[in-house]
Structure 1
Amino acid sequence: MQVIKGYRRKNGKIGIRNHLLILPTVVCANQVCSRIQQKAPESVAIPHQHGCSQVGADKERTHKVLVGMGKNPNVGAVLIVSLGCEVINAAQVKAEIEATGKPVSWIDIQGEGGSVKSIQKGIDEANKLLQKIAAAPREDVLVSELIVGVKCGGSDFTSGLCSNPALGKAADILLHKGGTIVMGETTEIIGAEHLVAAKAVNQQVREKLFQCVKQFEHEVERMGVDMRGGNPSSGNIEGGLSSIEEKSLGCISKAGSAPLQDVIEFADEIPARGYYFMDSPGNDIECVSGMAAAGVHLVCFTTGRGTPTGNPIVPVIKITGNEITAKRMADNMDIDTSSVLKGKQTLDESGQEIYEAIIEVANGQETKAEILGHQEFSISRIGISL
């Protein structure tokens, strides 16, 4: 069995990074978190716009994503920063993350007496947590424990011709070894959903997938807008994609050929091994954030046009099939699959190259997005602000 080096957490899960996460429960705590992070450079922060003026399922989504980010096994410890009067319950967030066995501290800005005192207290707490996780050993863990998200963004004609199907080959290799693949982007399978559903292990899973698409289409109809121009975007169209169906046919090849085990909600924890579909927006940052909150270890992200975005807690491997993009955005691209289009490499060979990159990144090699400090994070909203 193939092994990698990882961090074994107290709940039995493995991580491939050992981050201290500074987590604001509400937008009002963002600046305090950012200042703490600046003084604790080994930490990562996830500023966001939410946490107040939310009710019902919308509030629960924000809560679930924040907790999921803290529970992700790439996170070794968490510092929660609350304001004190938001709708998100910081004590509950703390309790749910602590259930994983990792150290969690919590400071409250109103309780501490303002921003300056909170920053000072936060720096002290962050340094204590960093000391606690610094000695965490890396040990041999099985590749079968890896959970990899597959995503595409800034697509062009090369995405469907080589980078996405090559990623699908890599996905098949990981799945064959007992690992897990998570594909999202409900908006990106429209017109090809029947092909994804055909892989479902049973009728219930097929119906769940169709319901995701139906619900999204209902929301577009309710708004009374034409999706074209937003998806495919103007950049997609300029890159040679003529319709959402053409884009979707390229998109779905990222997940490979394995049976679809289940359809999960946005940011829901991955229940078992195999191939799963997460109901999520196509928006790059929202989708990757949902995957991170669901527990993926890393994301393979194909892009023909070129996009630099990353994530605070999961490495994002950038893959392109466009030779021009690979050269023009060499700072951001990790893998160039354009050799497939030239006939110099087969899809199987390119997939093997991507799989080997997954193993290297899992073993600690930094992606371009990590090196450049791309730590984009966003929570998908489903309700109005009060």
Structure 2
Amino acid sequence: MDAIKEFWGYWRDDGRVGTRNHVLILPLSPAVSTSASWVQQAVPGTVSVELHQDIHPSVSGYPLAIRTLAGWVDHPNVYATVLLALSQDDPVVRDLLPQLGHHVRYRLVSLEGEGGRRAAQEAARQVAQDYLTASKSLERQPAPLSQLILATECGGSDACSGLSANPSLGFASDRLVEAGGTSILAETTELIGAEHILAARATSPSVDDAIWETVRHAERAAMRMGVDFRGGQPAPGNIAGGITTIEEKSLGCVHKGGNSPVAGVIDYAERPRMRGLVIMDTPGHDVMQFVGMAAGGAQVMVFTTGRGTPTGAAIAPVIKVSTRTALKRQLPDLIDFNAGSIIDGVQTREQVGWALFRKILSVANGERVAAEILGHREFGIFQGWGAEA
């Protein structure tokens, strides 16, 4: 295969490159989520999310929430953001704005500052329209693959996940890493039982230690809450799909990381400081993982599934990969790519992996995926594992 060395994206002032050029309407409290949706509908071409969690210094995981919101505002796929708040004096506003660099385009609109909901919505609508008009002046330009961060995810896994979709994604991930790019492997709770495989590929003793400690930390947190991951996993859907133990599930999960050395371990919603394969500490919840990896700067995401899911992310395309051809036929409007030809015996992992790598680059170049077409923009922020016992 001829090496592919670039994609076409939107260069940002800080030197990063986006695969999309979104204007984001971001609510900073649940009370203004309806207003954010109203603005998004009033200005077609913008994107928004609904925030259902209270974000306040007194609420668990507040620093993670601030970092996550900052990562979404300061994302290479986002041209500009309209921030909606109840008041300009809200703690979240006070703590979020200093996290945003001078290169970030945003405007804060508050119900208090504008004199009510209707006035605030109209003010936000006008700002969003102005941003959208300005965004159209940007054109895609060539960029090296070293600028690309890929997020990898699996959900609704079945007995074929570790045989078809996940190894194919791992092959594609390796090709990106070889080209100088970055790939994020997440789902800490689904590394349990396979952490030794990743630790053996650590690039340094400190990375080795971080892999072990990250998994142990998640296990200790679960035990404090009276939950045993090793007894509570796999989930009922996984069992119905043919997975028998958490170790079997984890062994399939780590295939998404291919065979590349593990260059580092980062916290939830943290931007990678190194290139290569990186592990992000996230829960096993699909939506929260996508939100965290997007906050870390991932411009393209791949979601392998054996059971099917419509989940998407507002600011980054999510490529759905089926483990079986039957699932692609069953859910043709949700699945973007079929890895089931490996199970069918008509293609090899390398053949499907190369095809998936090309699909990732096509999406990075602007091809829309099912989750974007269907308008899926699920949003939830991880609140952390809690204090140590």
TM-score by length of structure 2 reads 0.95
Structure 1 contact 289–378 (Cα < 8 Å) conserved:
yes
Structure 2 contact 342–352 (Cα < 8 Å) conserved:
yes
Structure 2 contact 264–274 (Cα < 8 Å) conserved:
no
Is 2:37 the partner of 1:39?
Answer: no
User: Cα offset for 1:23?
Assistant: 1.1
2:363 is matched with which residue? 361
**Partner Cα separation in structure 1 for residue 50 and residue 226 of structure 2:** 32
Is 2:184 the partner of 1:159?
Answer: no
1:260 equivalent among 259, 262, 276: 262
Is the partner of 1:157 in helix, strand or coil?
A: coil
Is 2:99 the partner of 1:96?
Answer: yes
1:282 is matched with which residue? 284
**Partner Cα separation in structure 2 for residue 60 and residue 125 of structure 1:** 28
1:123 equivalent among 119, 122, 125: 125
**Partner Cα separation in structure 2 for residue 273 and residue 382 of structure 1:** 25
Structure 2 contact 27–85 (Cα < 8 Å) conserved:
yes
Structure 1 contact 54–383 (Cα < 8 Å) conserved:
no
Q: Structure 2: 5+ residue runs without aligned partners?
A: none
Is the partner of 1:204 in helix, strand or coil?
A: helix
- AA aligned to 2:323 is G
1:223 is matched with which residue? 225
Alignment of 1:1-386 (within 5 A): 2-55=5-58, 58-84=61-87, 88-99=91-102, 101-227=103-229, 231-382=233-384
User: Cα offset for 1:375?
Assistant: 1.0
**Partner Cα separation in structure 2 for residue 121 and residue 13 of structure 1:** 30
- Cα–Cα, structure 1 residues 98 and 132, in superposed 2: closer, same or farther, change >3 Å? farther
Aligned-residue Cα RMSD (Å) equals 1.7
- Cα–Cα, structure 1 residues 39 and 114, in superposed 2: closer, same or farther, change >3 Å? same
User: Cα offset for 1:3?
Assistant: 2.1
- Cα–Cα, structure 1 residues 53 and 78, in superposed 2: closer, same or farther, change >3 Å? closer
Q: Residues 105-143 of structure 1, C-alpha deviation per residue, up to 9 Å, x if partnerless?
A: 111111211111111111111111112212112111112
Q: Residues 199-241 of structure 1, C-alpha deviation per residue, up to 9 Å, x if partnerless?
A: 1111111111111111111122111234367531100001000
Is the partner of 1:349 in helix, strand or coil?
A: helix
Is the partner of 2:26 in helix, strand or coil?
A: strand
- AA aligned to 2:136 is A
**Partner Cα separation in structure 2 for residue 227 and residue 116 of structure 1:** 47
TM-score by length of structure 1 reads 0.95
User: Cα offset for 1:27?
Assistant: 1.3
Structure 2 contact 189–229 (Cα < 8 Å) conserved:
no
Q: Structure 1: 5+ residue runs without aligned partners?
A: none
**Partner Cα separation in structure 2 for residue 185 and residue 70 of structure 1:** 23
**Partner Cα separation in structure 1 for residue 170 and residue 216 of structure 2:** 26
Q: Residues 272-309 of structure 1, C-alpha deviation per residue, up to 9 Å, x if partnerless?
A: 21110000011100001100000001111100111111
The percentage of counterpart residues that share the same residue type is 37
**Partner Cα separation in structure 2 for residue 248 and residue 104 of structure 1:** 40
Deviates more, 1:258-267 or 1:29-38: 29-38
**Partner Cα separation in structure 2 for residue 151 and residue 324 of structure 1:** 21
**Partner Cα separation in structure 1 for residue 291 and residue 106 of structure 2:** 21
User: Cα offset for 1:10?
Assistant: 0.4
**Partner Cα separation in structure 1 for residue 61 and residue 339 of structure 2:** 39
Structure 1 contact 51–88 (Cα < 8 Å) conserved:
no
**Partner Cα separation in structure 1 for residue 89 and residue 268 of structure 2:** 23
Structure 2 contact 88–110 (Cα < 8 Å) conserved:
no
- AA aligned to 1:93 is L
